[in-house]
Structure 1
């Protein structure tokens, strides 16, 4: 099920409400969400995947700020188009307090005019912020958008959510909930712009998340499930962590909080280091945060293709990392390039091996002999 709509109508608020946890960053700034964010939802014994998307813009605002979402319109468009094409049910969200806008009309027409392509998809209309009787009555004007299956809701307060979920599950393929939740969670963490999202896309073989040379492109912790050699794995892409003094209040601060929570949810942490830049104290600080949370760590040295190498280069860099991360002298180190794909195929097998070692049980007698 995909949530779509123009920016700032409350999609991420509804997503967090349904997921029952704060997975998506919520802020008053339009364009806060950029990538597709997924969560598995259970309602009345039914399981379905919920997808939050970036706001659909009808025009590109001119800005000199390289981190503004206005500079990622094309990439955000690709993300929500993928979400729509893969969804069984689409929920168009609007805001009753602003009335019908040109952007609402654009998105509704986008869905209605492509109904032949979407003939097997159910389209619902959720009118958000209906937290009193007058606003609930005003929601009726949104029938003008041409979508008759309308639900007045208030995502922040949880009003009308039950009826919406009943309607959603009514039109979804039957998928019963089960108790099998065995999955290996792997968080990809590091400083901004070290190649975390590029590595995720390379592992998946598709453009799952937006990648750019602008630091701070990723804002949410983004979960992606896959099956590798009969093992279920959840990969979590995260926002880059800058030094505490450089973190700006607002979206970046919330993004870092999501990253720390992603580490808490994970069992394995891939610590990404940029081989083309000097090893920094922030790399060591992030490594320390993972150790404090008792997570298994694999050090990934990315952008290895940019390094002029000889026979001793890898060993020299390994010695450097060992000296900087003396508290993690036992962790494996993998040199690769997310850009070219060099040695990326070793990431998942190594992660599963680390997970196996992590679950190793040592008997009392063996421990006494040690």
Structure 2
């Protein structure tokens, strides 16, 4: 990243994610009244005055406990400090100094990054100074009283922070491909992200529900920029209780909506489950392009026919996104991981493709020549007048016909296949809108005249 980075550091439940959302002006980080909600590094853009920078949220630091995810959280915080220009150490003004604060302060004094001390939860301006004054004892300089919820003291705090930041380069607008990595818990989404990045960007654990936030990571390959969005594992709705997992799954759905391409990650040993099918339906409903990634391929015993048998079975189960490319990979060994980005490029380009009206009508003319619309028992035949593309992301084409009801579903699917084959819409859904013109004879000075009286969308 070319923008300077500010790392948010502190023990659990001092309000770090609330402050991240305050600085970024968004609800990017999950806030919930429970310790340990944030685990991975979560990056968001922020600015103060004329200065742009990146804020990285980290998990709550606990040094004397190695249970569950705490060692990995410490590793993520250390990585955040390593790339940061400044650290913002958050403490709880209402709770006062505790042993954990002193331990973190001692650790920060050993780092080379300048530290600004923010005393959060100072909701009252009168009490704020007295609440903050006790934190002089930490030996990290002036403590700034502030409130992440109400915004009190944020300006003075940011003045102190940006004083430590280098001037950012004037960056051109970057045309990036946004890729959301989604799937059920424990299919290897975070492992896949780490394989792309080449480091432990996200915590990987066999414990279901390790990732909670939607984590953005920007990488470059061959002069192209990709924004990878790791998401929480999506379980059945009936198994999800209100809380951190609920918010994480909502972030995952939002990540699907803002992505150019969705990587649907499946477990090669599990195959396609009912929950996977529901996720596929969600991706198609949102109109996102998609690449199906079958992970843990290294764990499958195979012969020369295995991959073809698996591919056939998977396509039968995922028939409603038959347009999506499929790839078998191993995030653990790195097998074919880089190939995923090539497929994502193809899908993203198709998702944004706009085709001229003349080309669309050439495809229609050839399609009708090879297979004309069927004739009904009443002797009525469907007729396609012309087509034109009306939007992109996903591509949408309006087809103007004499009566949409005269075109059965199998013929509509035939026309869609022709567009895919002739125009290269690989990896993206396309929308076809069949618009009818009802024709009637109208007496006009004694002679019949055909006139279009109504246009109805189907």
TM-score (norm 1): 0.93
Query: Hey, what's the Cα distance between the residues in 1 that align with 2:299 and 2:24?
Result: 41
* Counterpart among 287, 297, 319 of residue 304 in structure 1: 297
**Which runs of structure 1 show a deviation greater than 4 angstroms over 4 or more consecutive aligned residues?**
176-179
Query: Hey, what's the Cα distance between the residues in 1 that align with 2:288 and 2:244?
Result: 26
Q: Is the 8 A contact 1:36 1:51 kept in 2?
A: yes
Q: Which SS does the other structure have where 2:68 is aligned?
A: helix
Query: Hey, what's the Cα distance between the residues in 2 that align with 1:155 and 1:341?
Result: 41
* Counterpart among 81, 85, 106 of residue 88 in structure 1: 85
Residues paired across the two proteins, number: 357
Gaps of 5+ in 1: 62-69
Query: 1:128-207 residue pairs with structure 2 within 5 A?
Result: 128-137=120-129, 138-176=131-169, 178=171, 180-207=173-200
CA offsets 1:96-139 (integer angstroms, 9 cap, x no match)? 11001111111111112x1xx41xx3210000011113431221
Q: Is the strand fraction higher in 1 or 2?
A: 2
* Matched residue, 2:102: 105
* Counterpart among 47, 68, 72 of residue 71 in structure 1: 68
Q: Is the 8 A contact 1:97 1:135 kept in 2?
A: no
Query: 1:1-370 residue pairs with structure 2 within 5 A?
Result: 1-60=6-65, 70-112=67-109, 114=110, 117-118=111-112, 121-137=113-129, 138-176=131-169, 178=171, 180-370=173-363
Q: Which SS does the other structure have where 1:187 is aligned?
A: strand
Query: Hey, what's the Cα distance between the residues in 2 that align with 1:283 and 1:255?
Result: 17
| 1:181 Cα offset (Å) | 3.9
CA offsets 1:227-272 (integer angstroms, 9 cap, x no match)? 1111111111110000111112111101101111111221110000
Larger radius of gyration: 2
Q: Which SS does the other structure have where 1:39 is aligned?
A: strand
TM-score (norm 2): 0.76
CA offsets 1:114-171 (integer angstroms, 9 cap, x no match)? 1xx41xx321000001111343122111111112232111011122222222222221
Q: Which SS does the other structure have where 1:81 is aligned?
A: helix
Q: Is the 8 A contact 2:261 2:289 kept in 1?
A: yes
CA offsets 1:27-53 (integer angstroms, 9 cap, x no match)? 111111111111122322322121101
Query: Hey, what's the Cα distance between the residues in 2 that align with 1:250 and 1:360?
Result: 40
Q: CA RMSD in A?
A: 1.5
Worse-matched range after superposition: 98-107 or 146-155? 146-155
| 1:178 Cα offset (Å) | 4.5
Query: Hey, what's the Cα distance between the residues in 1 that align with 2:281 and 2:292?
Result: 12
Q: Per the alignment, do residues 341 and 179 of structure 1 end up closer, same or farther by CA in structure 2, a change over 3 Å counting?
A: closer
Q: Is the 8 A contact 2:174 2:225 kept in 1?
A: no
Query: Hey, what's the Cα distance between the residues in 2 that align with 1:46 and 1:183?
Result: 22
Gaps of 5+ in 2: 1-5, 364-458
Q: Is the 8 A contact 2:193 2:228 kept in 1?
A: yes
| 1:71 Cα offset (Å) | 0.8
CA offsets 1:346-366 (integer angstroms, 9 cap, x no match)? 011221222122222100111
| 1:287 Cα offset (Å) | 1.2
Q: Which SS does the other structure have where 2:47 is aligned?
A: strand
Q: Which SS does the other structure have where 2:69 is aligned?
A: helix
Q: Is the 8 A contact 1:186 1:270 kept in 2?
A: yes
Q: Which SS does the other structure have where 1:71 is aligned?
A: coil
The answer to which structure, 1 or 2, has the higher relative contact order (CA under 8 A, 6+ apart) is: 1
Q: Per the alignment, do residues 266 and 135 of structure 1 end up closer, same or farther by CA in structure 2, a change over 3 Å counting?
A: farther
